[in-house]
Amino acid sequence: MKITTQIAGLLLFALFLPFANADEAAIKQALGKSMPTAKIESIKPSEVKGVYEVVLGSSIYYASEDGRYLLQGRLIDVANRIDLTEQRLGATRKAALDKIGTDNMIVFKPKIGKYKVYVFTDIDCGYCRKLHSEIDQYLAEGITIQYLFFPRAGKGSDSYDKAVSVWCAKDRNAALTAAKKDQKLERKTCDNPVDKHMQLANEFDVKGTPMIVTEHGNIYPGYLPAKELVQALQGEKTSQ
């Protein structure tokens, strides 16, 4: 991994809280008072003495042992050239996706499954449409495609309404394929997971679509042809 000067640009800000106990409970109490809306998933010691890893939603931060300082950035094992933060982020992403559940995704399954990926998609995104136009190629490689919606124009946009209509269709897979071909959809509304998908995309800091997330929580931003995706997934399995 290439270590750049960006690593030195960690965001550091004081919380000015009166807790001095070096334990997880004190840090949780301190952060809870300063950031009451924050969703604290876990707090545990990091690889650095006196620094604690704090998982907020699907993001990772680091806190001083007294809970007074919070740092945002990458923790790097310089000797081994390993991004320890990215390793942990993979696990938090996978846990968040498991919590959403495949029942709340649109899934295209091959006859013989070898790999699974999650794809954040925007119905009107050009490269999202290109990826879906090649869905048979992904399935032929044994890749299960599990779609989540991320209409980049936001809630209430035409793309958002299309995503809801697809979800509410009788045959969601067929409706998604039709929408990707820019065919007219019957506008429908119903209980749907689109807002949850968008919230998760924001937690994952999705900047564009498509964004592919592997079974191990690793991210491949943008379109990847089926053959290249298989190579990436094979490499991922080898490195586990």
Q: Does the active-site annotation cover 195?
A: no
Catalytic residue among 74, 128, 129, 161: 128
Q: Are 52 and 39 in contact (CB under 8 A)?
A: no
**How do beta strands 115-121 and 143-149 pair?**
parallel
Is residue 140 helix, strand or coil?
A: helix
Catalytic residue among 74, 93, 125, 129: 125
Catalytic residue among 66, 122, 124, 161: 122
Interatomic CA distance for residues 157 and 168, integer angstroms: 17
Q: Please enumerate in sequence order all residues whose Cβ is within 8 A of that of 50, keeping only pairs 6 or more positions apart, or say none.
A: 22, 64, 65
CA angle 203, 206, 208 (to 5 degrees): 160
Q: Does the active-site annotation cover 152?
A: yes
Q: Does the active-site annotation cover 23?
A: no
Interatomic CA distance for residues 184 and 39, integer angstroms: 40
Q: Are 197 and 120 in contact (CB under 8 A)?
A: yes
Interatomic CA distance for residues 109 and 138, integer angstroms: 9
Per-residue HEC secondary structure of 154-213 comes to CCCCHHHHHHHHHHHCCCHHHHHHHHHCCCCCCCCCCCCCHHHHHHHHHHCCCCCCCEEE
Catalytic residue among 93, 129, 152, 161: 152
- For the annotated catalytic residues, the residue numbers are 122, 125, 128, 152
